[in-house]
A and B are shown apart, each in its own frame.
Chain A
Amino acid sequence: NAGVTQTPKFQVLKTGQSMTLQCAQDMNHEYMSWYRQDPGMGLRLIHYSVGAGITDQGEVPNGYNVSRSTTEDFPLRLLSAAPSQTSVYFCASSFAGTSGRGDYNEQFFGPGTRLTVL
């Protein structure tokens, strides 16, 4: 298994440009999510998905779009990049389990994409 893969590893954009960060997993996980990591702030949830065709907003969704057309892929789109979006982006996935009954599963993280917006 490749686990969770992310591309690209590094990216530099100019303000106003758009791009898509790719995330894929080969573990048949229902749950996938995107986080951004900024110095001193830990990771913050951007968007998440509990299955193909289902997405929802996290803590910091503005300026980002997602879609989930397949179980394997969960791309993150930056519509019009801004310097405030300079960050390291992580994708994660896990089995959904039954959290309402205290059944949590390991969440696997990808290696990250380091994005700089000039």
Chain B
Amino acid sequence: SQELEQSPQSLIVQEGKNLTINCTSSKTLYGLYWYKQKYGEGLIFLMMLQKGGEEKSHEKITAKLDEKKQQSSLHITASQPSHAGIYLCGAAGPNDYKLSFGAGTTVTVRA
């Protein structure tokens, strides 16, 4: 299985500030998924990247997969309280759909 390291483990940001979360793998990333989870709830799909250099945005959240396909970043612009939660990256292998997940990044947004 693929090991994914997320950084930072947690962060606290002032409302209105930007934040970035990284997801790093020692192996090539194929299907790379970003999910958000509120405490005690299920996972909400944010974005999926699969091509080196690919970048996707949805509302104030942008995710990128670097050219070498070994790291992805998730960037939130002008954070809001609704952005608080746990962000998880998951990676699929080259020939299957099994996802390996990072340990998650807990985001707290202070008003």
A residues in contact (CB < 8 Å) with B: 31, 33, 35, 40-45, 48, 50, 58-59, 90, 92, 94, 96-97, 99-100, 102, 104-112, 114
Contact = CB atoms under 8 A, between A and B. Distances in A.
A46 B7 CA distance: 25
Contacts of A109: 35, 42-43, 45
B96 A104 contact: no
A31 B97 contact: yes
B43 A104 contact: no
A112 B41 contact: yes
Given A41-B103, A90-B42, A111-B42, A100 B50 contact: no
A107 B99 contact: yes
A107 B42 contact: no
A108 to B, nearest CB: 7
A103 B40 CA distance: 31
B97 A104 contact: yes
Contacts of B1: 45, 59
Contact of A43 (B31, B45, B94, B99): B99
